Structure 1
Amino acid sequence: MLQGSRSWVFPSRPAILSTGVVGGPFEKKGNLSADFDQFYDDLWMGQDTYEKANRTLIEDAVAIALEKQALKNGDIQFFLTGDLINQITPSSFAARTNGIAYFGLFGACSTSMEGLALSAFLVNYHGAHRVVTGASSHNAATEKQFRYPTEYGGQKPPTAQWTVTGAGYAVVGEGSLLNDPAPRITAATIGKVMDMGLKDPFNMGGAMAPAAVDTIIGHFQDLGRDPSYYDLIITGDLAKIGRNTAFEMLKEKGYTLTDQQFQDCGMLIYGENQPVQSGASGPGCSATVLYGHLLNEMKKGTYQRILVIATGALLSPLTFQQGESIPCIAHACSIEYL
Structure 2
Amino acid sequence: MVALKKIGRQTIKFLNPPSILTTASIVGPKEGEGPLAQYYDEVLEDDLFGEDSWEKAESKLVKEAVKIAIRKAKLKIPDIEFMLGGDLLNQLMSTSFAARDLEIPFYGLYGACSTMAESLNLAAVLIDGGYADKVVATTSSHFSSAERQFRYPLELGNQRAPTAQWTVTGSGAAILTSNGNGPFITYSTIGKVIDFGIVDSNNMGAAMAPAAANTITTHLMDTGLQPKEYDLIITGDLGKYGRDIAIELMKKEGFEIVKNFTDCGIENF
TM-score band w.r.t. shorter chain: over 0.9
Partners of 1:42 and 1:148 in 2: how far apart? 21
Aligned mates of 1:236, 1:145 — CA distance in 2: 19
Listed as ranges, the matches of 1:1-338 within 5 Å are: 1-174=5-178, 176=179, 178=180, 181-257=181-257, 259-270=258-269
For 1:228 and 1:206, the matched residues in 2 are separated by 25
Aligned AA (1:247): I
Give 4+ residue runs of structure 1 displaced > 3 Å after superposition. Answer: none
State how many pairs are aligned: 265
Q: TM-score, normalised by structure 2?
A: 0.96
Question: Structure 1 counterpart of 2:95, which letter?
Answer: S
Contact kept? 2:151, 2:202, Cα under 8 Å? no
For 2:135 and 2:231, how far apart are their aligned partners in 1?
27
Q: What letter matches 2:198 in structure 1? A: L
User: How far 1:61 sits from its partner (Å)?
Assistant: 0.3
Q: Distance in 1 between matches of 2:54 and 2:131?
A: 35
Query: 2: distance between equivalents of 1:91 and 1:237?
Result: 20
Deviates more, 1:48-57 or 1:223-232: 223-232
Q: 1:170 aligns to what SS in structure 2?
A: strand
**Cα distance in structure 2, aligned partners of 1:65 and 1:153:** 37
Gaps of 5+ in 1: 271-338
Aligned partner of 1:69: which letter? A
- Residue 158 (structure 1) shift: 0.7
Shift of 1:129: 0.4
Quick one: which amino acid aligns to residue 151 of structure 2?
R
Deviation at 1:149, TM superposition (A): 1.9
Q: How much has 1:93 moved relative to structure 2?
A: 0.4
The 1-side partners of 2:154 and 2:46 are apart by 14
Q: Deviations over 1:121-163 (max 9, x none)?
A: 1111111001000210011111112122223211011111101
Distance between the aligned counterparts of 2:260 and 2:197, measured in 1?
29
1:76-116 CA distances to partner (integer Å, 9 max, x unpaired)? 11000000011101111001011111000011111111110
**C-alpha root-mean-square deviation of aligned residues, in Å?**
1.0
Write the distance in 2 (CA, Å) between the matches of 1:269 and 1:145: 21
User: Distance between the aligned counterparts of 1:182 and 1:173, measured in 2?
Assistant: 9
Aligned to 1:276: none
Deviations 1:277-328 (A, max 9, x none): xxxxxxxxxxxxxxxxxxxxxxxxxxxxxxxxxxxxxxxxxxxxxxxxxxxx
**Structure with greater strand percent:** 1
Superposition deviation, residue 11 in structure 1: 1.8
TM-score (normalised: structure 1): 0.77
Q: 1:318 corresponds to which residue? A: none
Render the CA deviation track for 1:57-92: whole Å, top value 9, x for unaligned: 000100000000111111011000000011101111
Distance 1:6 1:251 in 2: 21
**Structure 2 stretches of 5 or more lacking a match?**
none
Q: AA paired with 2:262?
A: Q
